[in-house]
Amino acid sequence: MQTALADFIRDTPEGREADAILRKCVHCGFCTATCPTYLLLGDENDGPRGRIYLMKQALEGQEITDRTRLHLDRCLTCRACETTCPSGVQYGRLLDIGRKLVEEKTARPAWERVRRRALAAVLPRRSVFALLLTLGRLARPFLPESLAEKVPASAPAARARPAPRHPRKMLALAGCVQPALSPDINAAAARVLDRVGISLIEVKGAGCCGALRFHIGYQEEGLADMRALVDRWWPMIERGGVEAIVMTASGCGAAVKEYAHLLSHDPAYAAKAEKISAMTRDVSEVIDAEHARIEPVPGTRGGRVAFHPPCTLQHGQDIKGVTERVLARAGFELTPVPDSHLCCGSAGTYSILQPELSARLKRNKLSALASGAPEEILTANIGCLAHLQSGTGLPVRHWIAALEERLS
């Protein structure tokens, strides 16, 4: 694609990166076939090729309108287009640049600004979110149905974590909303890894990975969250005491694997971020590598399960089939799931900011997941887990919890 970026951005790092990405796009349109919003709305501007063109126009200095922002807002950032593209167009990175520009050049209505600011203030703060969740549960019977379904009635309590006792150690991230919504996920991961001789440890005070604020229009605040997390982890990494950083939420994993890129222009953090990204593994990658030492209890049944691979796992981290392999080895029967490449509509704060599109995607996803008559649904990201659970009577849980139950 020919480009002529405007003077205000052409010679900046972002301008150069956007230009290189745009030039790779040959406008073939293969990506539109795997774009969930294009499939729902049928509008070229609600598909990746159209959005790329809108961002190109913005970067070339043409007028940026509220319509431009609307089409970018409707994008789930699922990156299905990226793993489909034969030309290697890094749509997600272009979107970060395009959204920042559109955010600067347009004005959202006051209510929209307040809502986004509230989400950016509450969700990354673990204790504030936990308090609001408790209040939401108390008020749940009095809330309208659309709001009540966003407040999970309860969460399985966290069971004991093994004390660190192995020479092999890995770091884990508690995350921001996961401890309140499903406190046993990291504990279950710690128990499984303890069985194979790895102690999983969390650093006190390590907070949000930064993805939440970064993707909701507060990129500088998101980067500040990332730097704060690097600062928390760095002393332990520098001492050489941990061999990897394990992620049980694929959304956080995708974000931390991007630190090397996102902090590459910050001289104080670039090298540390590169090291941290290189050390980061989804928990499925770690368990898969240790599979020889994972032995399910003989005589127990794995059960029929439908696995939903989150977009941040299959597209963001490009990890496909690994969790399914781990579950199959452990004796689970995986039911077929049509269109498993499509987003469930959770997508960070998308379910709050684009409720209608999100609800349609959730209905489609739950119907695909239920089509093989599973006993339960397993997934790998807390956002997808809570979102899917709000629309089905089938149990939905993190696959590591199901695996742990199978081993014990």
Total binding residues toward ligand SF4, as defined by CB under 6 A: 25
Angle at the Cα of 314 (from 303 to 216), degrees rounded to 5?
115
Tokens representing residue 45 in the block:
């501007």
From 32-40, 126-134, 284-292, 330-338, span contacting ligand SF4 (CB under 6 A): 32-40
Give min distance, CB of 34 to ligand SF4, in A. 6
Give min distance, CB of 190 to ligand SF4, in A. 33
Q: In this chain, which of 21, 54, 55, 81 binds ligand SF4, going by CB under 6 A?
A: 81
Residue number with CB closer to ligand SF4 (295 or 339):
339
Q: Does 20 bind ligand SF4 (CB under 6 A)?
A: no
Q: Does 349 bind ligand SF4 (CB under 6 A)?
A: no
Give min distance, CB of 28 to ligand SF4, in A. 4
Strand, helix or coil for residue 376: strand
d(CA 382, CA 42): 30
Q: Which helix (H) or strand (E) holds 281?
A: strand 280-282
Q: Does 89 bind ligand SF4 (CB under 6 A)?
A: yes
Q: What region does 155 belong to: left with phi over 0, alpha with psi -120 to 50, or beta?
A: beta
With the C-alpha atoms ordered 134, 135, 136, 142, is the resulting torsion angle positive or negative?
positive
Q: Does 4 bind ligand SF4 (CB under 6 A)?
A: no
From 87-95, 112-120, 199-207, 264-272, span contacting ligand SF4 (CB under 6 A): 87-95
Tokens representing residue 132 in the block:
């609001």
From 72-80, 166-174, 212-220, 235-243, span contacting ligand SF4 (CB under 6 A): 72-80
Q: Does 71 bind ligand SF4 (CB under 6 A)?
A: no
- Alpha carbon distances (Å) from 51 to 48, 77, 206, 216, 390: 5, 12, 35, 17, 30
Token pair 């939420």 is at which residue? Answer: 249
Phi, psi dihedral angles at 192 (to 5 degrees):
-65, -45
The letter for the amino acid at 257 is K
d(CA 203, CA 42): 46
Q: Does 49 bind ligand SF4 (CB under 6 A)?
A: yes
- C-alpha closest to that of 375 among 316, 331, 333, 339: 333
Q: Does 175 bind ligand SF4 (CB under 6 A)?
A: no
Q: Does 76 bind ligand SF4 (CB under 6 A)?
A: yes
d(CA 50, CA 71): 9
From 29-37, 56-64, 287-295, 331-339, span contacting ligand SF4 (CB under 6 A): 29-37
298 and 308 Cβ atoms separated by less than 8 Å: no
Residue number with CB closer to ligand SF4 (80 or 306):
80
Q: Does 215 bind ligand SF4 (CB under 6 A)?
A: no
From 2-10, 44-52, 301-309, 383-391, span contacting ligand SF4 (CB under 6 A): 44-52
Q: Does 53 bind ligand SF4 (CB under 6 A)?
A: no
Q: In this chain, which of 59, 64, 80, 245 binds ligand SF4, going by CB under 6 A?
A: 80
Residue number with CB closer to ligand SF4 (70 or 131):
70
Start-to-end Cα distance in the chain: 56
Q: Does 30 bind ligand SF4 (CB under 6 A)?
A: yes
Q: In this chain, which of 15, 48, 253, 310 binds ligand SF4, going by CB under 6 A?
A: 48
How many other CB atoms are there within 10 angstroms of residue 155's CB atom?
17
- Alpha carbon distances (Å) from 306 to 79, 326, 337: 22, 14, 7
Give min distance, CB of 180 to ligand SF4, in A. 28
Residue number with CB closer to ligand SF4 (59 or 76):
76
Q: Does 28 bind ligand SF4 (CB under 6 A)?
A: yes
From 33-41, 176-184, 246-254, 266-274, span contacting ligand SF4 (CB under 6 A): 33-41
Give min distance, CB of 108 to ligand SF4, in A. 19
How many other CB atoms are there within 10 angstroms of residue 208's CB atom?
25
- C-alpha closest to that of 94 among 116, 66, 72: 72
d(CA 285, CA 143): 40
Q: Which helix (H) or strand (E) holds 117?
A: helix 110-122
Residue number with CB closer to ligand SF4 (31 or 196):
31
Residue number with CB closer to ligand SF4 (26 or 153):
26
Binding site for ligand SF4 (CB under 6 A): 25-31, 35-37, 48-49, 51-52, 75-81, 85, 87, 89, 91
